[in-house]
Amino acid sequence: MDQIAPAATRTTPEVNELHGLVLGKDWSATPIGAMDSWSPTLRTMVSFLLANRFPILLWWGPQYVSIYNDAYRPILGTKHPGALGQPFSEVWPEIDHILRPLIDAPFSGGPATWMEDILLEVNRYGFTEETHFTIAYSPVPDDAAPRKIDGQRETGSAGAANQDIDCNRL
């Protein structure tokens, strides 16, 4: 049964792989639990990101469980599809020490964070590469969830304005 909002079902066949993966995932085996226990806010956010053509990553809950859309897949490289439903620290261990303070700030009641053209050395194709992203993290208010059980989104714009991703083997 499709338990996410109807807007997510209006994706075109070319961009709906994640819709199928989200619906087919055994979320009860993840830290955020079965889909039927999700708050209306989480369902709405997942519907929003699945219908969006811009790369969006939602980190939900205190372990920052990853839910993302089709446009975000290239950012993950070979980490997809295994990244779906996994905690941030397991998906991106190589940049956890850099991004965690930026993610934790809004989760701890601080302001949203944003950085333009941040250099991150990631391993998404079996080797370490330099990448540049513009990132933004902000809380998703959810009255149905305890404090710190809210979401984050990453808007990964690969590279600075007018510049492609700089990918070099290190």
Domains contained in the chain, CATH given: 6-158 (3.30.450.20)
pLDDT of residue 5: 54
Check pLDDT > 80 for residue 33: yes
pLDDT of residue 145: 65
Residue 93 Cα distances to 11, 56, 77, 120, angstroms = 31, 19, 15, 12
Check pLDDT > 70 for residue 105: yes
For 46-55, 122-131, 133-142, which range has the lowest pLDDT when averaged over its residues? Answer: 133-142
Rounded mean pLDDT of 42-69? Answer: 93
By the 8 A CB rule, do 69 and 56 touch? Answer: yes
Check pLDDT > 70 for residue 165: no
By the 8 A CB rule, do 156 and 129 touch? Answer: no
- Of the two residues 146 and 116, the one the predictor is more confident about is 116
Rounded mean pLDDT of 17-29? Answer: 96
pLDDT of residue 78: 98
Rounded mean pLDDT of 52-57? Answer: 92
How far apart are the C-alpha atoms of 62 and 44, rounded to whole Å?
19
For residue 86, what are its two tokens? 């996994």
Angle at 91 between CA 83 and CA 7, to 5 degrees: 40
Omega prior to 40 cis, within 30 of 0: no
pLDDT of residue 108: 87
Check pLDDT > 70 for residue 91: yes
pLDDT of residue 143: 78
Rounded mean pLDDT of 106-117? Answer: 90
By the 8 A CB rule, do 63 and 88 touch? Answer: yes
pLDDT of residue 140: 87
Q: What is the reported pTM?
A: 0.81
